Amino acid sequence: MNFLIYGLGSIGRRHAAILSGVEGNKIFACRTGKSGIKSSEKFPYTEIDPSDNFADHNIDGALITNPTSMHIETALKIAEYGIPMFIEKPLGKDLNNIKRLQKITGENNIPVLMGYNFLHHNAIKLIKKLIKENKIGNVISAKSQFGTYMPDWHKNEDYKKSYASNADMGGGVVLTSIHEQNYLTDLFGEAVEVKAMKTGGNLLDIKAEEGAEILMRHESGVVSNIHLNFYQKPYYRNCQVIGAEGTIYWDFLIPEVKILYKDKTEIIKTGKGAFELLDESYTEQMHHFTDVIKGNSKPAADLNRGIKDLETALEILKQIN
């Protein structure tokens, strides 16, 4: 299969490496900025110009991995060719041209998969299964936390110049770290009420929000709390689901999920290591995208899911800014 990677930053390179590892796959790539694939990368690719006629390259699937502010514009361009799309999260920085993209993809039956790799993570899949099996009784509330120290992301780059540091480019912790919002919605239904407050102030001197406390009331009645920040040392990510009969707990850095009851604790192993599991989630996501292209699967998170998540995120941003 032929894949187009539109945007050659770190996430685009990650996806390209996975896809190129499958026999028969060929990678085409478009540069959209200063960052890009280095000569030392371990996968073959053919660089093409964004102005090229993509029909000449027989592209089977396109991955939109450029800065968030460019996602919708790029998706509209790809849609002109009727090519199935993978759009890295979040869908965009605003709702401009969203209806146009919906119309084109809908009328032409162009599948769109949103890049929420945590939906393919063993721990999140296990938590969803345990909830469905009623392992902790009726779920009442949930808490998720993600904290990271942005200056440590890419040691050889100025973090203040990255898209994640600039609201105009679709950065900020709310959009960049939308995974928690997405998987909690997948677990408990749409957010029907949202409350949010900004945290951190200006610790990192970036042009976007660096921390947020978020409350969501889901259509199921579950209330979830999300804490996000770009200033925490060390890295921290977890999820806690509280039910009438017990609590499910997951720490990203420990490859297991715990079910805590009043008088006992069950521990279910999810893999060999935290970052191996993360890598597997990205691999599974690309396998899923391939199945979507072939018509063998429906997108785990489609364009409408991306739109609803963005609408909620924009409401959060409205409240904290």
How much is the pLDDT for 42?
67
Tokens standing for residue 73: 């514009």
Closest listed residue to residue 123, CA positions, set 241, 250, 285: 250
Distance CA 143, CA 145 (A): 7
pLDDT given at position 201: 86
- What 3-state class would DSSP assign to 307? helix
Distance CA 209, CA 6 (A): 27
Q: Is 286 exposed, middle or buried (0-12, 13-18, 19+ CB in 10 A)?
A: buried
Q: How many residues does the chain have?
A: 321
Instruction: State residue 130's pLDDT score.
Output: 98
Which residues, listed in sequence order, are joined to residue 266 by a DSSP beta bridge? 259
Question: Percentage of the chain surpassing pLDDT 70?
Answer: 97
Which pair of structure tokens corresponds to residue 148?
């990271």
pLDDT digits (tens, 9 = 90+) for 159-176: 999 999 999 999 999 999
> Which is nearest to 159 in space by CA: 206, 115, 124, 112?
206
C-beta separation of 129 from 316 below 8 A = no
Structure tokens at 94: 């605003």
Q: What is the mean pLDDT of residues 40-55?
A: 86
Residue 157 clears pLDDT 90, i.e. is over it: no
Q: Give the pLDDT confidence of 247-270 residue by residue, as tens digits.
A: 999 999 999 999 999 999 999 999
Burial classification of residue 19, based on how many CB atoms lie within 10 Å of its CB (0-12 exposed, 13-18 middle, 19 or more buried) = buried
What are the start and end residues of each CATH 3.40.50.720 domain in the chain?
A: 2-117
Q: Is 99 helix (H, G, I), strand (E, B) or coil?
A: helix
Q: 63: helix, coil or strand? A: strand
Which of 30-34, 73-77, 186-190 is predicted with the least confidence, judged by mean pLDDT? 30-34
- The whole-number pLDDT of residue 65 equals 97
| Phi, psi of 95, rounded to the nearest 5 degrees | -100, 10
Average pLDDT over residues 29-42: 63
Residue 40 banded pLDDT, cuts 50, 70, 90: very low
Q: What is the β-pairing status of strands 2-6 and 26-30?
A: parallel
Task: Tell the CATH superfamily of the 2-117 domain.
Answer: NAD(P)-binding Rossmann-like Domain (3.40.50.720)
Segment (H or E) for 115: strand 112-115
Stretch 63-81: mean pLDDT: 97
Q: Which residues of the chain does CATH 3.30.360.10 include?
A: 118-320
Cβ neighbours of 21 (radius 10 Å)? 12
pLDDT tens per residue, range 83-101 = 999 999 999 999 999 999 9
Instruction: Provide the pLDDT confidence category of residue 36 given band limits of 50, 70 and 90.
Output: very low
State the Cα–Cα distance between residues 270 and 91, nearest whole angstrom: 29
Q: What is the DSSP letter of 161?
A: G
* Sheet order of strands, 265-269 included: 191-198, 211-218, 223-229, 139-149, 231-243, 247-251, 256-260, 265-269
**258 touches 241 (CB < 8 A):** no
H helices within 21-69, ranges in order? none
Those residues with Cβ within 8 angstroms of residue 133's Cβ, 6 or more apart along the chain or in another chain: none
Does pLDDT of 60 surpass 50? yes
pLDDT interval class at 155 (50, 70, 90): confident
Q: Which CATH number fits domain 118-320: 3.90.1150.10, 3.40.50.2000, 3.40.50.1820, 3.30.360.10?
A: 3.30.360.10
Q: How confident is the model at residue 39 (pLDDT cuts 50, 70, 90)?
A: very low
pLDDT, residue 33, reads: 64
Smallest Cα–Cα separation from 177: which of 211, 152, 205, 137?
A: 211
- What stretches of 173-273 show up as alpha helix (H) in DSSP? 173-176, 179-188
